[in-house]
Amino acid sequence: MADERRNLYLFYKQEDEVLRKVEPLIAFAENYGFKIVDDHKKANIIASIGGDGAFLQAVRKTGFREDCLYVGVSTGELGFYCDFKIDDHQGMISAMDNDQVEVRKYPTLAVSMDHDDSTFYCLNECSIRSSIIKTFAMDVFIDDLYFETFRGDGMIVSTPTGSTAYNKSVTGAVVDPKLQCYQVSEMASLNNNLYRTLGSSFILSNERKLTFKFEQDNNQYPIIGIDNEALSIRHSEVIRFELSDRKVKTVKLKDNSFWHKVRRSFL
Ligand code: NAP
Ligand code: MN
């Protein structure tokens, strides 16, 4: 079939155990009229094989594309980004054939640094924390307003879909991905007569910008994580955040809303 919408790129680790599971999936997909492409730029469907971590990597390594559909295929249990189990071929067929299937668009976070002009995108979160035993301090600004000075382990800035990940482990709220917003959560803030932070997570609208400012010359050595990758910020003293216009599109199956996933995973 020469249907351009059926160009499928599979993202997975080249490990024997994964390969064994991927082979039947490839056979099934080809049988069903999909063309497996080896260049993700030629794909209009990108499927990650693995867990949520693999999905995050697939989206990152293929550049947070907006002109294709991402699909998470799990080699274990269903996750937050994985809507299919790898051997559930029937489920995939009905999803593909069924016009009832909706496309959902997940908000992403744009992170930029002062030392160059690069922008990074996050599907889960951006975390900044000390890499040494000492506490880490930074000033927090909302738009142009100086808000607080944080001192502690670090902070997590999460998207709505990332709210169930790292953010949740530090008692951040679980946020509906239909809301265009992002959340800021603390990791072990110091609160005393010298240092004072809000102490609770806060949620910012997509119209707000968030800025962290810190000094690199007082041996703080913060490390920054964007989803499951580390970034070096040795030369940055300012990090800016905003909700990005870029959305990640995935399929939404019947009875598998975000809140179904939350219930399935946590309750
Ligand atoms: P990992 O260490 O395997 O991830 C930790 C767990 O988080 C895994 O069970 C992973 O699912 C799950 N997860 C990933 N995204 C999620 C989401 N949006 N909602 C709910 N659970 C989610 O590393 P990874 O698989 O590469 O995932 C990276 C993510 O781990 C980071 O983005 C961060 O959110 C999270 N993390 C959490 C902590 C913590 O809770 N203390 C610390 C560091 C990082 P799978 O097993 O399906 O991959
Ligand atoms: Mn993982």
Residue, of 55 and 93, whose pLDDT is higher: 55
Q: What is the pLDDT of residue 108?
A: 98
Tens digits of residue pLDDT in 190-232: 999 999 999 999 999 999 999 999 987 777 778 999 999 998 7
Decide: 163 in ligand 1 pocket, CB within 6 A.
no
DSSP SS3 for 22 = helix
Cα(100) to centroid(ligand 2), Å: 30
Taking 70 as the threshold, does the pLDDT of residue 99 lie above it? no
Residue 170: how many CB atoms within 10 A of its CB?
A: 17
CA-based nearest residue to 119, from 108, 104, 135, 128: 108
pLDDT tens digits, 114-169: 877 789 999 999 999 988 888 999 999 999 999 999 999 999 999 999 999 999 99
* DSSP E strand boundaries for 143-180: 145-158
220 vs 265, which has greater pLDDT?
265
Residue 101 DSSP symbol: P
184, pLDDT greater than 90: yes
pTM: 0.95
Q: Which residues are annotated as a binding site?
A: 52-53, 124-125, 151, 153, 164-169, 188
Strand, coil or helix: 20: helix
Long-range CB contacts for residues 83-91, cutoff 8 Å, separation at least 24: 83/250, 83/251, 83/252, 83/253, 83/256, 86/21, 86/22, 86/25, 86/49, 87/21, 87/24, 89/25, 89/28, 91/253
* Residue 247: CB atoms within 10 Å: 15
List the structure tokens of 50.
């693995």
**64 vs 99 pLDDT, higher one:** 64
- Residue 60 — φ and ψ, nearest 5°? -65, -50
Please determine, for residue 1, whether its predicted confidence score (pLDDT) is greater than 60: no
* Complete domains list, the chain, with CATH: 3-99 (3.40.50.10330), 108-245 (2.60.200.30)
Nearest CA to ligand 1 atom 11: 52
Return the percentage of the chain with pLDDT > 70, whole number.
97
